[in-house]
Amino acid sequence: MAEANPQLAALKGRRILVALSGGIACYKIASLVSTVAQVGADVTVMMTEAATRFVTPLTFQTLSGRPVYTSMWQAEENFDAQHIALARGCDLVILAPATANMLAKISHGICDDLVSTVICALPRETPVLIAPAMNTEMWNNPITQKNVAELRDTLNYQFIGPDEGWQACRTSGAGRMSEADDIVAAAASLLE
């Protein structure tokens, strides 16, 4: 079904790096990775340690058909520093779910895990699509909003969502991660 969608044609043959930070919305990314792989993209997944608590790397390895990266000390495909190879080897990065913690790290250049380090090492021309996911109070926190503005204004990172709706913390409001199909469509539009 993903193959038949002409809007996703821009993803075919492209090298997409999907980065997960730790949040309950990680489960939605399985569908995203499957869709992107089905349209013929070369999908590589990297995860923070916290993300592996919600969904296992094996899930994404199975869906992508490629190794999943969870550590800066992991060297699967080459002898270069893995974070540099991952940063140089992609056409687009999708950071989803993007927690408040991860937004703060990358907006301040803190590189203390694989995901934040790879994003810091990206060439400036590499497009980055961020799908935030967090409690509504965390999303509305002025510091989080300042970090989002910094990423948009300084690095030209693109955002999708968050949406409004029911959250795992039993509240409703802005902070719910956008649906996987919407994220994939936004990613495709960045590569057209």
* Predicted TM-score of the model (pTM): 0.92
Catalytic site residue from 90, 111, 120, 169: 169
All domains of the chain in start order, with CATH: 6-190 (3.40.50.1950)
Considering only residues 176 and 173, tell me which one the structure prediction assigns the higher pLDDT.
176
Tell me the pLDDT of the chain averaged across its residues. 91
Q: What is the pLDDT of residue 43?
A: 97
pLDDT in tens, 73-86: 766 555 555 667 78
Q: According to the model, what pLDDT value does residue 1 have?
A: 44
Runs of H (alpha helix) within the chain: 29-38, 57-64, 82-88, 100-107, 114-120, 136-140, 142-155, 180-190
| Spatial distance between the Cα atoms of 177 and 32, rounded to a whole number of angstroms | 12
**Distance of alpha carbon 95 from alpha carbon 135, whole angstroms:** 17
Look up 169 and say whether it is catalytic.
yes
